[in-house]
Structure 1
Amino acid sequence: MAEDGMDDNFDKAAIAVIIVFGAIILGGLMAANLVVGDRNGFLFALGAAFLAWIAGHMILFDLPRAYAFLVAGAAVMAVCSTLFFVL
C-alpha cells in the first residue's frame, strides 16, 4: 500500500517538472529571445525545454540518474540562453 503513494509522488513530481520548466520558465525565455531576435538564445531555450520535458518522463520510468543528467543539461542550456539574451 505504501508503494502506491510513492508512485503518486513520482507522478506529481514529473508533471511539475514538465509544466514548470517547459511551459513557464523556458517558454518565457524562448519568447524573450524571439522578441530580441536572438536565434542562438532561442535554440538554447528550446533545447533546455526539450531536455526538461524528457526529464519528466525519466521520473515516470524510474530512472533517477538519467533524470539528474537531463535536468543538469537543461539548466546549462537555460543559462546559455540567458547569457545570449543578456549579452
Structure 2
Amino acid sequence: MEDNYEKYAVAVIIVFGALIIGGMMGAGLAFGDRSAFLLALGSAAFAWVSGHAVLFDRPRIYGALVAISAAFVIASIIALVT
C-alpha cells in the first residue's frame, strides 16, 4: 500500500479551503454580512491546518479540526440566513 500523504493533504487543503469555504466567504461578502464572512474565514483556517494534520499523519487531530471547520461553516450558514 502506498503511503503518500502529501496528495491527500493537498486535496484536503484545495477542496475545503478553496472551493467550499471560499464560496461561503464570497456569499458573506456579496450579502454584506461580516459575521458570516468571518466565520467562513475561520472555517477555512481550520480546514487549511487540517491538511497539515494529514501530512504529519495525525488522524485524531485531523478529525477534530474537520469537525471544528464544519461547525464554523454551519455557524456561517446560520449567520447568513438570519
For 2:48, the equivalent position in structure 1 comes to 53
For 2:77, the equivalent position in structure 1 comes to 82
Stretches (4+) displaced over 6 A: none
For 2:25, the equivalent position in structure 1 comes to 30
For 1:67, the equivalent position in structure 2 comes to 62
Q: Which runs of 5+ in 2 are unaligned?
A: none
Distance 2:38 2:69 in 1: 12
- Is 1:42 aligned to residue 74 of structure 2? no
User: How big is the shift at 1:42?
Assistant: 0.5
Across the aligned residues of Structure 1 and Structure 2, the Cα RMSD in angstroms comes to 0.9
Q: Which has the larger radius of gyration?
A: 1
Q: Which moved more, 1:48-57 or 1:10-19?
A: 10-19
User: How big is the shift at 1:16?
Assistant: 1.1
Q: Which has the higher helix share?
A: 1
Distance 2:73 2:8 in 1: 20
Distance 2:66 2:56 in 1: 15
Percentage of pairs with the same residue: 50
For 2:16, the equivalent position in structure 1 comes to 21
State the TM-score, normalizing by the size of structure 1: 0.90
